[in-house]
Chain A
């Protein structure tokens, strides 16, 4: 399943089932879905993700290829939304398939940690008090650094 960037809402369950079609020889699948988070303290009515699609496809494919080699995965892919999203909607889904669970977990974690800093998406949150660009977090850089 190729990496995908899309403005269309996706169904995490259907995506998982489609990914599992090629599960010959696999003993583990890990799927992670990131959602638009809104809490009473930080209400978000809309999350708008800006994207540079051509670069995003190149970067995500490079990260998937790297993860597949590092963790000897049988398959891996990433789906990432862009455009306007409402609270609770899925933003990103990472899926990894491997013979054993340790590699599948590690591969999924690697993909999430690296795509947050290396894939060209930018979040703009809109709430009751207006809109702002989400700043890059040092925690994300630290999470990325542990895979170097």
Chain B
């Protein structure tokens, strides 16, 4: 599974993407955030305020309780500021 990061989240993690293989117990995007935070202190710090982290599954904006089974790309990013 590919993970994408954008904007200040990408900068704080010093990477725009990574490949991960979460265990079967990781069912949702919220679980994935917890799992990534457990293995990476920088990630845990960056996502400490979960309400500031938005997510997408295969280029569709989704809430954190969305299942990840079958997903190819999960993206994490801060609130949008376009327009």
User: Which A residues are closer than 8 A to B by beta carbons?
Assistant: 34, 49-52, 54-55, 58-59, 80, 91-92, 112, 115-124, 133-137, 140
Contacts and interface: CB of A to CB of B under 8 A. Distances in A.
A140 B8 CA distance: 19
Contacts of A59: 61
Contacts of B80: 116-122, 136
Contacts of A115: 82-83
B27 interface: no
Contacts of A92: 82-83
Contacts of A134: 81
The A interface, classified by DSSP as helix, strand, loop or mixed, is: mixed
Nearest to A56: B82
* Chain B: number of interface residues, binned into ranges: 10 to 19
Interface string B56-83: 1001110000000000000101111111
A31 to B, nearest CB: 15
A127 to B, nearest CB: 16
